[in-house]
Amino acid sequence: MAKPRVTLIGVPLDLGAGRRGVDMGPSALRVADVNAKVAALGYAVEDWGDLPVRIRETQGPGDPRLKYLKEILEVCVLLRERVAEALEAGTMPIVLGGDHSVAMGSIAGLARHLNGRREKLGLIWFDAHADANTPETSPSGNIHGMPLAAVLGHGAESLVNLAGFLPMVEASRASLVGIRDVDPAERATVKSSGIGAFTMRDIDERGMRSVMEEAIKRATTGTSGIHVSFDLDGIDPDFAPGVGTPSPGGLSFREAHLAMEMLADTGKVLSAELVEVNPILDQRNGTATLAVDLLCSLLGKKIL
């Protein structure tokens, strides 16, 4: 019987973020033995290396409401094609970021691939932040604060149309888990979008199991499977200090692993991305190591 196959795609992009360093995320995840640890679970692992990304110092930011739009769009188009190529080859694409802007490319590739078969995609997005800003609401113009809005069909036309249709994912089939730092102007987008928005208060009151049961139900109803978009700043900084925009009061080590284990149990995970690992701010590559361990839980690693 053939082994299940995983394709790793590195995207060393930091143009969407305000703080430097997440461009080294793919290297940090590889140093944390992502290839070997995934292979140890019985997967055949193919590492397709890193996509080419323009260096910030060689570019101008352009529109202050959409900084580095041209360069980020260029990377997302490349990623869209690589993700689609992996899916067509029958492998599971795992994207190693990079800032969270990369999600627009990976989800565009998935959504377009499924749309060609008249199928839908479910989405679970782990994050401290809502990432639901648009050029009109963003206080910084940093695109890594906009990708979820774009995926749901809100924002700059060139971003929302990356899959060739919109929305890439219907809000009724998407959930945002672990948010606790939401910009005032993006709250209206989150509330009106129809996405399942689970704050840290929800997790405190209901527990991670209840929250994930609802998020999984949304992501699997009428879909062919789930894309998991995991921003490591969704984890409490006590466990994951090496992230671009840390926020206290996040998911615990075990809450995060439980979420991944429950997703693995569904057998419906199609793809994933790990983003916003910043080795400059990390301690002995601990955040990247945690990210790889969470990926292993998502791919079926069990305690017993």
| Catalytic member of 127, 183, 186, 293 | 127
Q: Is 79 exposed, middle or buried (0-12, 13-18, 19+ CB in 10 A)?
A: buried
| Active-site annotation holds for 238 | no
| Active-site annotation holds for 257 | no
| Active-site annotation holds for 129 | yes
| Catalytic member of 14, 50, 99, 144 | 144
| Active-site annotation holds for 131 | yes
Secondary structure of residue 46 in the 3-state scheme: strand
Does the predicted TM-score (pTM) go above 0.75?
A: yes
Superfamily name with CATH number, domain 5-298: Ureohydrolase domain (3.40.800.10)
| Catalytic member of 183, 186, 233, 261 | 233
Structure token pair of residue 34: 């992502």
Q: Given this model, what pLDDT does residue 3 score?
A: 77
| Active-site annotation holds for 50 | no
- Name which of 27, 5, 13, 164 is nearest 94 in CA terms: 5
| Active-site annotation holds for 181 | no
| Active-site annotation holds for 265 | no
| Catalytic member of 14, 100, 183, 202 | 100
Query: Please, what is the Cα angle at 233 between 109 and 209, to 5 degrees?
Result: 85
Q: Determine the residue type at 68.
A: Y
Per DSSP, which regions of the chain are E strands? 5-11, 44-50, 92-97, 122-126, 174-179, 196-199, 226-231, 269-275
Render the burial of 288-297: b for 16+ CB within 10 Å, e for the rest. Answer: bbbbbbbbbb
**94 forms bridges with which residues in the sheet?**
8, 272
| Contact assessment for residue 97 and residue 291, using Cβ atoms and an 8 Å cutoff | no
| Catalytic member of 23, 50, 99, 131 | 131
Splitting the chain (304 residues) into consecutive groups of 10 residues, what average pLDDT does each group show? 89 93 98 98 98 93 96 98 98 98 98 97 98 96 97 97 97 98 94 97 98 98 98 98 96 98 98 98 97 98 93
| Catalytic member of 50, 273, 276, 282 | 276
What is the four-CA torsion angle of 160, 68, 130, 80, rounded to 10 degrees?
50
Length of the chain: 304
| Active-site annotation holds for 63 | no
| Catalytic member of 113, 129, 154, 257 | 129
